A and B are shown apart, each in its own frame.
Chain A
Amino acid sequence: MNSRVLLAIAIAVIGAAACAGLPLILAGEPYLMRLVTMFSLLLVLAASWNIVGGFTGYPSFATGAFFGLGAYAAAILQARGLDWRLALIVAGIAGAVLAAPVGYGVLRLRGHYFAVASLMLGAILRELTTGWSDLTGGGMGLTVAGAGGDPERLAAFSLRISLALAVLTVLLGAAIKWSRLGFGLDCIRMNETAAAGIGVDAQKLKTYAFTLSSVTSAIAGGVYAGWIGYIDPTDVYDVMWSVKPIVAVLLGGVGTILGPIIGAALFVALEEIVWRNVLSFSSGGLGVLIVLLLLVLPAGVLPSLVSRKRRP
């Protein structure tokens, strides 16, 4: 058994135990449950982003766009009576359906252009969602049917499912990284032109990465919609859903497997501390965090702790 398999098994086992046990341990502590759920959702988005931004080296700001898309897809379907499990699956499919063609086009761009284009996706989707009010409720938002009921059961349920999704996404990331796809993406990250020279079909691989990343982001959006019970375009298409995962991964270590986990945990903890203590400057606090982080620890926490030769 090599260390990779051990790591994967460890993640799976710890994750499963947490899914089963945490809601019981934390029962009666709705605040903590909420915190862990936020952490899980952020982890899903961070691990998803890591596939495109970390493994492939493409600075994507589209995570939020697919998050919002998934939230709306799931909410609309549930409003039409679809079972939540199916709704989540369809949300994921919706993410893929949008990501594949759009990704194929947008991934032809590089660097800044790619970043700007990916950023615009969210803005476009937000406006289209707001405009198509017959379907989405437009600016009035959408209440998610089937959410509601006993808040504590809902909280436990949301915690389980978001944590499970987070574990799956981390494992997906590991699977990609250790596979041929991951190898190809790594080549692309290091030198795309040279990679093409050794026979890597860059366009295809990038699109796979982008699509997979979008599926998990979309499902996360669906989980979020069910959890909160009410969504509106400015909330789920907020650019912060694209930026926070990036900051989390930057905190933890870009391109690593554990990086998103550590980063998301640190981020949520820091955010809570700042939110609780600095009443009216919280977003500014996040800005300060970002600036300090990038000046002091541009490689993230994990690489600073782990010695150089073991850095994955």
Chain B
Amino acid sequence: MTVQITQVILNGVLLGGLYAAMAAGFSLVWGVLNIINIMQGSAVVLGSYAAYFAWRYTGLNPLLAIAVAGPLLFGVGWVLQRFLIQRVVAAPVLITLVFTFGLDLVLNNAMISFFSADYRKIEGVFPTAPLTFGALTLPVDRLLAAVVGIGAAFALHLYLHKSRLGRAIVAVRMDRQTAELMGVRVELIYAMTFGLGLAMAGIAGCLLAAIFPTSPLNSAHYLHIAFVACVLGGLGSVLGAVAGGLLLGIVESLGSLFVGAEYGTTVAAVILLLMLFTRPQGLMGRAGYE
């Protein structure tokens, strides 16, 4: 039984690395622009498609396709924010939520129109035999994807704290008005942040494409994951998103073992609700992100 549980926890950690990548950008956008980006799931799927087509036409390894998907999604995010989202960024929660919901409908359906809802799978890129340690097995593709995912999140974190632009973003997150007074061009920062958020989503999409089949139908599921991981870990904090993602992966896997595989979303949602009731700022975030 301990072997089983250890295997399950291990599975959860690997999943958690992916979840971390999915949540990091989402958390950043929520923290800085105070917008819940309902498009997150679809943005991840768009990244997956970028990886899929790059692989199909050039044989590029999806883990390397992040160099393609990242900038692509950054551009999309920048444009969306600058020309559309900026108009509603100061509006009440209801408006911004419904607005990004509408944008998501457009993006998701556009993907279905262009790419069809059929599942696309990348295959043959990674060795199929898993690594084994005694009775424990570790699939190679998941291991690599998790490592890259967590690495990307860390890279984002470093960028936010070491670079000028990054620190300006953090400043806006902490206190928008003061940052403005200090000469930070908030609109630019917003566009930058949203771009970064979608870029991370695109990267996460590449990682997912390496392991799972791609289809626009997955986007709601990915959005849920981003939500829960974010709230668990704490809004606005990229490291929090990593912690939240890992925790979510583990809890989900254990939940699947003990409660049943068909209750995955319920387990995640119940955790989310518990967290919101008891410690809304999450493990590592700061309070006040309503």
Q: Are B106 and A115 in contact (CB under 8 A)?
A: no
Dominant secondary structure at the B interface: helix
List residues of B (80-116) whose CB comes within 8 Å of A's CBs: 84, 87-88, 91-95, 97-99, 101-110, 113
Bound together, the chains give a CA A116 to CA B101 distance in angstroms of: 13
A106 to B101, CA, bound (A): 22
List residues of chain B with CB within 8 A of the CB of A250.
Answer: 98
B99, A291: Cβ atoms closer than 8 Å: yes
B272 contacts A by Cβ under 8 Å: yes
Cα–Cα, bound, A115→B110 (Å): 26
Q: Does B63 contact A (CB under 8 A)?
A: no
B224 in contact with A123 (CB, 8 Å): yes
Q: Shortest beta-carbon distance, A46 to chain B, in Å?
A: 13
A308 CB to nearest chain B CB (Å): 20
Contact of B102 among A105, A127, A281, A290 (CB under 8 A): A290
Minimum CB–CB distance for B146 against chain A, Å? 25
Is A283 positioned at the interface, with any CB of B under 8 Å from its CB? yes
Docked Cα-Cα span, A81 to B22, in Å, equals: 48
Q: Determine the chain A residues whose CB is within 8 A of the CB of B36 once the complex forms.
A: 112, 115-116
Q: How far is the CA of A127 from the CA of B272 in the complex (A)?
A: 15
Kindly state whether residue A153 has any CB partner on chain B within 8 Å. Answer: no
Complex contact A59–B109 (CB within 8 A) = no
Q: Which of B137-145, B174-182, B258-266 contacts A (4 or more CB under 8 A)?
A: B258-266
Chain A residue total in the interface (Cβ 8 A)? 42
- Quick check: B109 and A294 within 8 Å, CB to CB? no
**B68 sits at the interface (CB 8 A):** no
Tell me the nearest residue of chain B to A61, going by C-beta.
B97
In the complex, whether A243 has a CB less than 8 A from a CB of chain B is yes
Assess the B290–A110 pair: CB atoms within 8 A: yes
What separation, in Å, do the CA atoms of A117 and B272 have in the docked complex? 8
Known: A111-B290, A246-B98. A116 touches B105 (CB 8 A): no
| B188 contacts A by Cβ under 8 Å | no
Q: Which of B88, B102, B109, B224 has the most CB of A within 10 A?
A: B102
Report how far A109 CA is from B275 CA in the complex, Å: 11
A153 to B104, CA, bound (A): 40
Q: Which residues of A contact B101 (CB under 8 A)?
A: 243, 287, 290
Q: Would you give the shortest CB distance from B252 to chain A, in whole angstroms?
A: 13
- Residues of B within 8 A of A (CB-CB), count: 44
Say which residue of A59, A61, A105 sits within 8 Å of B92 (CB atoms).
A59
- Chain A nearest Cβ from B232, distance in angstroms: 12
Nearest CB to that of A289 among chain B residues?
Answer: B102
- Inter-chain contact A109/B280, CB cutoff 8 Å: yes
- Evaluate contact between A290 and B224: CB separation under 8 angstroms: no
B106 touches A298 (CB 8 A): no
Report the bound CA distance from A298 to B34 in whole Å. 19
Nearest A residue to B266 by beta-carbon distance?
A127
Q: A287-B104, A291-B103 are in contact. Are A120 and B109 (CB under 8 A)?
A: no
- Return the CB mask of A104-135 against B: 1 if under 8 Å, else 0: 01101111111111001001101110110000
Q: Which B residue sits closest to A287, measured CB to CB? A: B105
B19 close to A (CB within 8 Å): no
23 A-B residue pairs with CB within 8 Å: A59-B92, A59-B97, A105-B277, A112-B30, A112-B93, A113-B231, A113-B290, A115-B97, A116-B227, A116-B276, A120-B227, A123-B265, A131-B260, A131-B263, A131-B266, A254-B94, A281-B110, A284-B113, A287-B108, A288-B102, A291-B99, A291-B102, A294-B95
Taking Cβ atoms with an 8 Å cutoff, the residues of B that contact A are 30, 34, 36, 84, 87-88, 91-95, 97-99, 101-110, 113, 220, 224, 227, 231, 260, 262-266, 269-270, 272-273, 276-277, 280, 289-290
- Given A243-B101, A286-B102, 4 additional A-B pairs, CB 8 A: A113-B280, A113-B289, A126-B265, A287-B104
**Residues of chain A having any CB pair with chain B under 8 Å:** 53, 59, 61, 105-106, 108-117, 120, 123-124, 126-128, 130-131, 239, 243, 246-247, 250, 254, 280-281, 283-284, 286-291, 294-295, 298
